[in-house]
Amino acid sequence: MRVVIDKGIPFLEGVFPLGTEVVYLLADAITSESIREADALFVRTRTRVNRELLQGSRVRFVATATIGFDHIDQTYCREAGIHWVSCPGCNAQAVCDYVEEAISSVKSGKNDITLGIVGYGHVGKLVAQMGKKHGYHIMVSDPPLGIGSSLVEIAPQCDVLTFHTPLTRSGAFPTYHLCHAAILRLCKSDALIINAARGGVVDEAALLDVLSSGSSQLATAIDCWEDEPAINRELLQHVDLASFHIAGYSIAGKMRASEMCLEAFCNFFSLPILSINKKVVPLHGDSGSGWLQRVSNQLKAAPETFEQLRKQYPLR
């Protein structure tokens, strides 16, 4: 059996059964040619898992070590009989910590905060618990689950509006540009908008129009961007807190993602459940007060290094 793994997925070294050929590749080296003889593929969001990549290969199983899965062509995988899995909730606590730090940085000293949570899945629930711990008033919008109110209803009432949805472009409740110009106009003039969900959930062109108008006090914390890694540099300079898609980057989150991928792999190939390799655990990165501001300063100083900063980011 041959397994191709994105080098950015930790804790998998040396865990596969004897006789398994394991190949570690950088994300941009995962191509149709390099995976042609692979039976299984472990990826992250940078790899587009679609017909162009998979057609003509032996791949039967794909695991993405991420919550999001909009980089996977589900229709093609289904038609081709390729089983795929993601890791829902694996880094939920890390994303919640990101939201907490963003609010602390922008709304420090403010009392009676109303926190609006859009998307009430693994992350949204943790964010609600965090908000209650701080005494925030919680409002929720998750129409697909039938929970809370509509975004139109909660937006005008919230001091903080944070998004935790997948990115979808079809169906009854598409989330592409869910936060669009009309929603931004409804928000309080000094509200904080947080996107730690997926690039494209927030309409960045509409957001830039608001922030560059000179008449808005709207605050923003953006971790997920459209067109990563070639992010909108003009918008970047207007954002209060900017990061390079690392809200979910924690040691615990990465461990859980690798565990979930490995368990799904074993189940699919009818193997005994294997354990991840915890022998080499990296030192924790910067998680002290103000860490998000320091990350933001890094990105704003060198936006062309977005991908490099992301790859080299020390896990919290």
Q: Give the E-state strand segments of 119-269 in sequence order.
A: 137-142, 147-148, 160-163, 192-195, 219-222, 241-242
Same domain assignment for residues 51 and 111: no
Is 149 exposed, middle or buried (CB count within 10 Å of its CB: 0-12, 13-18, 19+)?
Answer: middle
Quick check: is 51 catalytic? no
User: What percentage of the chain exceeds 70 in pLDDT?
Assistant: 100
Active site annotation includes 198:
yes
Q: Same domain, yes or no, for 68 and 163?
A: no
Largest CA distance in the chain: 64
Same domain, 72 and 188: no
Which candidate in 71, 177, 198, 310 is catalytic? 198
Same domain, 221 and 134: yes
Does 76 lie in the same domain as 199?
no
Residues 95-109 have a mean pLDDT of 96
Q: Compute the distance between CA of residue 265 and CA of residue 38 in angstroms, rounded to an integer.
A: 13
Annotation says 101 is catalytic: no
Residues in a beta bridge with 84: 62
Residue 116, beta-bridge partner list: 139, 161
Q: Are residues 118 and 212 in the same domain?
A: yes
Q: Are residues 44 and 114 in the same domain?
A: no
Q: How confident is the model at residue 279 (pLDDT cuts 50, 70, 90)?
A: confident
Catalytic residue among 13, 83, 100, 228: 228
CATH of the domain at 68: 3.40.50.720
Please report, for the chain, how many H helices and E strands are present, in that order: 11, 12
The reply to whether 32 and 150 lie within a common domain is: no
For residue 301, with 0-12 CB atoms within 10 Å meaning exposed, 13-18 middle and 19 or more buried, which class applies? Answer: exposed
Question: What's the confidence (pLDDT) of residue 143?
Answer: 96
Domain membership flag for residue 31: yes
In a domain, 276, yes or no: no
Please tell me the least confidently modeled range out of 177-191, 275-289, 301-315.
Answer: 275-289
78-84 contacts: CB < 8 A, separation 24 or more? 80/51, 80/54, 80/55, 82/54, 83/268, 84/49
User: Do 111 and 170 have their domain in common?
Assistant: yes
In which band, very low, low, confident or very high, does the pLDDT at 280 lie, cut at 50, 70 and 90? confident
In this structure, the answer to whether residues 170 and 107 fall within a common structural domain is yes
What global pTM score does this model have?
A: 0.88
Range from 148-152, 161-165, 207-211, 279-283 carrying the lowest mean pLDDT:
279-283
Domain count, the chain: 2
- Look at residue 301 and tell me if it is in a domain: no
68 and 25 part of one domain: yes
| Residue-level pLDDT at 215 | 81
Rounded to an integer, the average pLDDT of 20-35 is 97
Task: Determine, yes or no, domain membership for 294.
Answer: no
Is 288 within a domain? no
Residue 308 lies in a domain: no
- In this predicted structure, the answer to whether residue 76 has a pLDDT above a threshold of 80 is yes
The share of the chain scoring above pLDDT 90, in percent, equals 93
Q: Please indicate, yes or no, whether residues 16 and 70 belong to a single structural domain of this protein.
A: yes
Evaluate whether residue 234 is within a structural domain.
Answer: no
Q: What are the pLDDT digits (tens) for 294-316?
A: 999 999 999 999 999 998 999 89
- Catalytic residue, from 46, 71, 122, 245: name it: 245
Boundaries of domain holding 158: 93-227
Q: Look at residue 233 and tell me if it is in a domain.
A: no
Measured CA to CA, the distance from residue 82 to residue 77 in angstroms comes to 5
Residues in a beta bridge with 139: 116
Query: Span 112-132, mean pLDDT?
Result: 97
pLDDT at 119: 98
